[in-house]
Amino acid sequence: MASDLKNLSVFSTDELPDISQRRFAILVSEWNAEVTEALFDGAYQTLLQHGAKPENIIRGNVPGSYELSLGALWFAQRDDIDAIIALGCVIQGETKHNDYINHAVAQGLTNVGLQTGKPVIFGVLTPNDQQQALDRAGGKHGNKGDEAAITAVKMLGLQEQVYSKF
Ligand SMILES: Nc1c(NC[C@H](O)[C@H](O)[C@H](O)CO)[nH]c(=O)[nH]c1=O
Ligand SMILES: CC(=O)[C@@H](O)COP(=O)(O)O
C-alpha cells in the first residue's frame, strides 16, 4: 500500500503493551538532517505518548544511513536496551549509490534483529527527491518516525505474548 493510500502517522493503538519500563535506542543518521530530525521528533514523541519514560530513551547519531546497522548492533548487544529504532533518509542521487546504501542498511538492520532477537525497526526513508522525504517526515503522508516508534511498541507486545506462559 503506497504512502498515498496510508498515512504513516495513523495506526491502531488497540492492545499496546505497557512500555513504562521498556528501554529504547533511537539511532539518527546525520545525512539530510532536516528530515531525520523530524523523524526523530516523531519517534520520540510517539514513544512518550504511549507510555515510555524520557529516561528510558537513548539517542545515538551515525554519520549516514549506511552506519545504522552497526550502531543498531552495538545498542542491541546492551542488556539494558529492549528495542532499537533506526532513522535515516537516503535521497536518490545521480548514481546508484543510494541503491547500495538502501539495500545494505535494510539487510543490515534485518540481520541485527535476527541475530539478537530484539526489535530493530527500519525507519529509513528512500525517496526520489527532497519533497518526497519531507512529505513523509511530518508532511502530507505523516511521519515515518511515528510509524517506526509504534512498530517497536507493537513488536515488544508480540514478544511479550510469545514468551508469556499460557
Ligand atoms: N547519500 C546519503 C548518504 N550517504 C552516506 C552513507 O550513508 C555513508 O555514511 C557513507 O557511504 C560512508 O559509509 N547517507 C544517507 O543517510 N543519506 C544519503 O542521502
Ligand atoms: C545517495 C546520495 O544521495 C549521495 O551518496 C550522493 O549520491 P550521488 O553521488 O549518486 O549523487
Cβ 66 under 6 angstroms from ligand 1: yes
Is residue 136 in a domain? yes
Rounded Cα gap, residues 127 and 91, in angstroms: 5
Instruction: Give the pLDDT of residue 1.
Output: 54
> What distance lies between CA 98 and its chain's CA centroid?
19
Output the CA 103–ligand 1 centroid distance in Å.
Answer: 12
User: Are 116 and 150 contacting, i.e. CB atoms less than 8 angstroms apart?
Assistant: no
Cβ 36 under 6 angstroms from ligand 1: no
Cβ 74 under 6 angstroms from ligand 1: no
Instruction: Give the pLDDT of residue 102.
Output: 98
State the chain's mean pLDDT as an integer: 96
Is residue 9 in a domain? no
Give just the sign of the alpha carbon dihedral 52, 55, 59, 60: negative
Q: What is the largest CA-CA distance in the chain?
A: 55
Q: What digits encode the pLDDT tens for the residues 103-130?
A: 999 999 999 999 999 999 999 999 999 9
Is residue 11 in a domain? no
Residue 94, marked binder: yes
Is residue 60 in a domain? yes
Return the residue matching grid coordinates 498515498.
Answer: 4
Rounded Cα gap, residues 61 and 113, in angstroms: 19
Q: Which helix (H) or strand (E) holds 32?
A: none
DSSP string, 90-142: ----SSTHHHHHHHHHHHHHHHHHHHH-S-EEEEEE--SSHHHHHHTEEETTE
Q: What's the pTM value of the predicted model, to 2 decimals?
A: 0.96
Instruction: Give the pLDDT of residue 156.
Output: 98
Is residue 115 in a domain? yes
User: Does residue 103 have an active-site annotation?
Assistant: no
Domains: count for the chain: 1
User: Are 69 and 109 contacting, i.e. CB atoms less than 8 angstroms apart?
Assistant: yes
CATH, residue 114: 3.40.50.960
On the 0-12 / 13-18 / 19+ scale of CB atoms within 10 A, 58 is middle
- Residues 6 or more apart whose CB falls under 8 angstroms from that of 78 comprise 25
Hey, which of 65, 94, 105, 125 would you mutate to test ligand 1's pocket, going by the most ligand atoms within 8 Å of its Cβ?
65
| Residue 25: HSE in the Cβ half-sphere, 13 Å Cα cutoff | 25
- Give the domain range for residue 155: 24-37+45-159
Cβ 93 under 6 angstroms from ligand 2: yes
Beta-strand relationship, 83-89 and 57-62: unpaired
| Positions of the chain with pLDDT lower than 50, given as ranges | none
Give ipTM to 2 decimals. 0.96
Q: What percent of the chain has pLDDT over 70?
A: 99
Is residue 18 in a domain? no
